[in-house]
Amino acid sequence: MPMSYILSIDQGTSSSRAILFDESFRAVHSSQKEFTQYFPNEGWVEHDPSEIWRSVFDVVEDVLKKIFLLT
């Protein structure tokens, strides 16, 4: 029977992270990618939503590639 995995996405204020867990809830692979923070005024911070989306896609793709290399 094929192994089952759980993919978790941790979206932070400065980076996206994907962690892949096995059936025993052990972390098998993870990937993290930072994205740009913009400070247009003092006390403000802004993000480019397309850059966040791209970083999520990239980290998910990275952990999935790693697991398919092992199977």
Could you report the per-residue pLDDT of 7-41, keeping only the tens digit for each? 999 999 999 999 999 999 999 999 999 999 999 99
pLDDT at residue 66, rounded to an integer: 87
Quick one: which of 17, 19, 8 has its CA closest to 35? 17
* CB-count exposure of residue 5 (10 Å: 0-12, 13-18, 19+): middle
State yes or no: pLDDT of 70 exceeds 70. Answer: no
Q: Determine what percent of the chain is predicted with pLDDT higher than 70.
A: 96
Q: Which residue is listed with tokens 């740009």?
A: 36
What residues does each domain of the chain span?
6-70
How high is the mean pLDDT of the chain?
93
| Residue 71 pLDDT > 60 | no
pTM over 0.75: yes
